[in-house]
Structure 1
Amino acid sequence: MNLEIPHKFTPLINQAQQVAREVFRPISRKYDRAEHAYPRELDMFASIMDGMNEGSGDGGAGAGSLARAGDEDGSGNRNGTNMKTVLGLTELCWGDVGLALSIPRQGLGNSAIAAVANEEQLARLGKTWAAMAITEPGAGSDSASIRTTATRDGDDYIINGEKIYVTAGERADAVVVWASLDRSRGRAAIKSFVVEKGTPGMTVERLEKKLGIRASDTAAIRFDNCRVPAANLLGDPEISVDKGFAGAMQTFDNTRPVVAGMAIGIARAALDQTYALLEKYGQPLTYRAQTWTQTAAERELQLLEAEWDAARLLTLKAAWMADNGLPNSREASMAKAKAGRVGNQVTLRCVELCGSLGYSEVELLEKWARDSKILDIFEGTQQIQLLIIARRLLGKSSAELK
């Protein structure tokens, strides 16, 4: 693995940096205060993103399928959609995480479509702005405990249940819903369905008020005898005990490095701003001095930067593995666990180091501290990631290690 960023992504990174600096940062506080207000400024940027994604096959902020990611002959080294997505979102989240999650047609549900949809579904649904609905009132990190059901009825499935904390649930054109075909069959029966906005029986019950990422709408959605075409079931409709719900879980192998990249972006923003404030007030950061001659703030920041760089490299490795068709479940969880924790640690510590400037709304540091917490929670909490890593390292199943 080459640890340098591929040169072909330089234009993407530069463009994302410019958007973060010139578009996101100036309106960041505005939409933090105006929770649930739709950021109209993003419409033009979404059109630019559509042009950037044209022909890439990723369909949005989601990463590409593991099965489709490698070179055609199975050899060589590829840096593709997964790496591009991670690098782009890292820069955008340097600007604002909530706004990055609000870009039209770049929803997390697009990751599920890219990961497990067949070619016909990709052609039909790939350009749809899709949210992702997994969490329920009684099922959060344990996705296997999902109670929402999907019952076959002729050429349709009838979905019943409730989903909460659906990012972009009200704004998106469709929602990818995780539901069980037969609850007696356990996790093997869990499938994902694309439910388009306006489908009878699907109701947005409320929008949540949140600690952070307030620019992003977070919805609770109810499904009451919601009829969905069978063709909107993503992947294989057969219940396979051997495979479990590997197809559905592959979505996480794609999205966890993406969320890790978001945490890296917001942590970098906090570090950069803290460096700038310390230099402004006569404490410039230098790497030349010995540790015992540095100020406490300098020493602390260098330790935080080391943690940040470790998280960044883990994330790039997980994305690179996905692009090259390598199973990356363990590495995806490692990246998510490390980056989620580091993002929260860095932003909170930067608030403390900057004192009153960090705690007040004069700077964005306090906002980044609030925004960063969700990145350690959604797409699998810190505790769940550590459990997955332990299972992979010890060769244990979910039944053997709970």
Structure 2
Amino acid sequence: MINLELPQKLQMAQKMSHQLAHAVFRPIARKYDKIEHCDTPEELIPVGAMLKNVGMSSQRTSSEGSAGVSEISNGANMMQVLATAELSWGCVGLMLSIPGLGLGNAAIQAVGTPQQKQKFGQLHCAMAITEPGCGSDSAAVQTTARLQGDNWILNGEKIFATAAQRGDAVVVWATLDRGKGKAAIKSFVVEKGTPGMEVVRCEDKMGLRVSDTAAIVFTDCKIPKDNILGSAEIADTAEARKKAFGGVMQTFDNTRPPVAAMAYGVARAALEITRELLEKEGVVFDYGKSLYNGSALQAEIYRLEAELEASRLLILKAAWMADNNQPNSKEASMCKAKAGRVGNRITLKCVELCGSLGYGEAELLEKLARDSKILDIFEGTQQIQQLIIARHVLGKSSSELK
């Protein structure tokens, strides 16, 4: 029998995250939506310290529980998607602004050595992949890294780097040899204040306005040789190249389920607000009746709720697989594609159904709709996710199916 209930320890973490979102995030969500390029919100500093301690505790528990090879576990990945969904229900922009919980931290946890995890694990690490000429095709990175003595020298430009201004460090994707394609793509940790790294601007955005999104330029930026994540060797066979780039791309297998959870949390918040507003106007939701025995408005809400639930189950599956050391690249893309698309549809439909209340600032619906759009784009667009899924289903390589 399949048991889809969450263990008690995860239910407690989920409840605590919801309480934090309700008590801290929701009351200040509109305030910080109107303030762009501010410093880290002061309300988030103690939150970051608290969650960092919780994360360290859960990692210890997860590592202790992994001693038995056959043991089935719900660990750090499951806890992360559950907490992310609840915090995003409060405000996804504030959630992304919590000190110490950057996307770069996920990269370090995915491919970093124990020494690197210890050295950089307590920092707030941003992620820098996208470039002016390189978006969804991560293998087209043009930023270069060359070894000079005991240091790497980085040159290039990165855009749309989340938390790059406020963060303590940036995980940068760069190529060791532009002529060798994705096999030469590596990731490097560059700490804030390193000479040659300059944050040149912060972007004005439609959504996630409290979360800083920056452009960075690297000019002969010198970092220690040990700051590379993974091996510095460039694979010389097709199979080795595939394995090497797969290690770099494993970062996305870890981060796509949490991004899907963000989309789920935002969509759930919009749907709950919409239900409350409709119920105040006398709309009754009766789940004992057939979908076709109610009004068109009721049927629309039921369909949106079903789509949201499908997203949730896909997210949980991808996280569970990661916790149990099962390859989850296809499932990570499936949950990201589904939740990103559904999140957009639900938030926009909620604005539509609530009319002037949905479009105005008296409620958070218009903000949720603005925030949701990027969640279908970053960490891989809808089209990229579908391409990855198709490759897995059809057994095709990236060169065979583009």
For 1:317-361, what per-residue CA distance to the aligned partner results, in whole angstroms no more than 9, with x for missing partners?
000000000000000000000000011110000110111100111
2:365 aligns with 365
Between 1:204-213 and 1:117-126, the stretch displaced more is 117-126
Q: What secondary structure does 1:245 align onto? A: helix
Q: Which amino acid aligns with 2:245?
A: F
Counterpart pick for 1:202 among 197, 201, 207: 197
Cα RMSD (Å): 1.4
TM-score of the two chains, using structure 2 as the length reference: 0.96
Alignment of 1:2-401 (within 5 A): 2-38=3-39, 39-57=41-59, 71-240=66-235, 241=237, 242=240, 243-401=243-401
For 1:356-390, what per-residue CA distance to the aligned partner results, in whole angstroms no more than 9, with x for missing partners?
10011110000000000010000000000000000
Q: Which amino acid aligns with 1:148?
A: T
Q: How far is the alpha carbon of 1:55 from its aligned partner?
A: 3.4
Moved over 4 A (4+): none
**Partner Cα separation in structure 1 for residue 188 and residue 58 of structure 2:** 23
Q: Which amino acid aligns with 1:45?
A: V
TM-score of the two chains, using structure 1 as the length reference: 0.96
- Structure 1, unaligned stretches of length 5 or more? 59-63
Q: Which amino acid aligns with 1:8?
A: K
Q: What secondary structure does 1:57 align onto? A: helix
Q: Which amino acid aligns with 1:49?
A: L
Residue 69 of structure 1 contacts residue 323 of structure 1 at CA under 8 Å; is this kept in 2?
no
Q: What secondary structure does 1:179 align onto? A: strand
Residue 69 of structure 1 contacts residue 80 of structure 1 at CA under 8 Å; is this kept in 2?
no
**Partner Cα separation in structure 1 for residue 64 and residue 281 of structure 2:** 48
**Partner Cα separation in structure 1 for residue 51 and residue 67 of structure 2:** 26
The percent identity for this pair of structures is 60
Q: How far is the alpha carbon of 1:89 from its aligned partner?
A: 0.5
**Partner Cα separation in structure 1 for residue 258 and residue 52 of structure 2:** 18
Q: Which amino acid aligns with 1:207?
A: C
Residue 160 of structure 2 contacts residue 214 of structure 2 at CA under 8 Å; is this kept in 1?
yes
1:61 aligns with none
Q: Which amino acid aligns with 1:103?
A: I
Residue 260 of structure 1 contacts residue 375 of structure 1 at CA under 8 Å; is this kept in 2?
yes
Residue 149 of structure 1 contacts residue 161 of structure 1 at CA under 8 Å; is this kept in 2?
yes
**Partner Cα separation in structure 2 for residue 208 and residue 2 of structure 1:** 45
Q: Which amino acid aligns with 2:14?
A: I
Q: How far is the alpha carbon of 1:70 from its aligned partner?
A: 8.1
Residue 291 of structure 2 contacts residue 302 of structure 2 at CA under 8 Å; is this kept in 1?
no
Q: How far is the alpha carbon of 1:290 from its aligned partner?
A: 2.5
For 1:78-131, what per-residue CA distance to the aligned partner results, in whole angstroms no more than 9, with x for missing partners?
100000000000000000010000000000100000000011111111111100
Residue 344 of structure 1 contacts residue 376 of structure 1 at CA under 8 Å; is this kept in 2?
yes
Residue 70 of structure 1 contacts residue 324 of structure 1 at CA under 8 Å; is this kept in 2?
no
Q: What secondary structure does 1:177 align onto? A: strand
Q: How far is the alpha carbon of 1:239 from its aligned partner?
A: 1.4
- Structure 2, unaligned stretches of length 5 or more? none
Q: Name the count of aligned residue pairs.
A: 394
